[in-house]
Structure formats: structure tokens, C-alpha cells
Amino acid sequence: MPRKALRSAVLALAAAATTALLSAPVHASGRPAAEPSPAPYAPSAVVLAVNRAASAPARAVTLTCAYAPGGTHPQPAAACDALQQAQGRLAALTPVSGPRCSFLLRPVTVTLQGVWRGVHVDEERTFANECVMRSYGPLLAF
């Protein structure tokens, strides 16, 4: 998926998440209906993509963390927890225990684009290879 198309998908996902969060039913009196109140924080919907060298992304997943974790990420709850601990930043991720990785240099770049707690995020981080990338925990295990 070209970067422009990826950016469009991110913006559409962020708009949909914001609309869903702000469209709570309202009584004729103007007061909110007695339904679940919105989460205590702003919407969080991101797209994570992995690419090799200068090619188009090899794969991409969506992740929403507003009410209940969701999206196409294989482990949305664990990924949302990891992103929460990293305060929405790829640069703040730290390796977790796991298998030892080879020194094979096959760089992969992960991009994180979307909205995290109401703030636009657009970040990328390059890892030596996919094993090293996955050693950074469930957020990057897709």
C-alpha cells in the first residue's frame, strides 16, 4: 500500500473512531441517554505497517484502543497495553524477553500512523530484522 493510500486509510480510521465516540444518544432534553459513557480519554486508532527496504508495506494492521481493544491486529488487547506503556510512541518501546535473534541484517521499518489519545501520531522505527522487531513485544507481533 503506497504511503499516500496508507495515510488516507489512517485518516478514515481516525475519523470513524472519533465519530463513534462522539455519537452517544441524546434525550429530547439535551441530556445524554442512559447508555455507557465514553471512555475517559480521547480516541485511539492507529495503523501499523511493516516494510522492507524502500518497498511498499509488506503488511499492515489496524488497532483501536478506545472502549475495547480491536482492529485487525492479532493481539489487540496486549498491543493496546504495550502502546499504552510506551505512551503511544514506537521510540519508547523496549525489548521483552524472547528468542535470541541472529545478526542477519535484513532491515524492516515499522510505521505507526493515526490518533493516539486524541493526538495525531506519525512515526517510524527501523529494526535489524523481523526477529529483532518481534522481540519488542506484542505490539509489533503481526
**Domain count across the chain:** 1
* CATH code of 109's domain: 3.30.350.10
State which amino acid sits at residue 80. C
pTM to 2 decimals?
0.69
Digitized pLDDT (tens) for each residue of the chain, 142 residues in all: 555 554 455 445 444 444 443 343 444 445 444 444 444 557 889 999 999 876 667 899 999 998 889 999 999 999 999 999 999 999 999 998 777 888 889 999 999 999 998 899 999 999 999 999 999 999 999 8
Question: Left if phi > 0, otherwise alpha if psi is -120 to 50, otherwise beta: which for 15?
Answer: alpha
**Closest by CA position to 14, among listed 111, 87, 115, 118:** 115
29-56 pLDDT, tens digit each: 454 444 444 445 578 899 999 998 766 6
SS (H, E, C) 40-103: CCCCCEEEEEEEECCCCCCEEEEEECCCCCECCCCCHHHHHHHHHHCCCCHHHCCCCCCCCCCC
- Closest C-alpha among 52, 50, 51, 123 to residue 83: 123
CA 116 – CA 3 distance, rounded (Å): 19
Q: Report how far apart, in Å, the C-alpha atoms of 138 and of each of 1, 71, 119 are.
A: 23, 14, 22
Query: Residue 16's domain spans which residues?
Result: 3-140
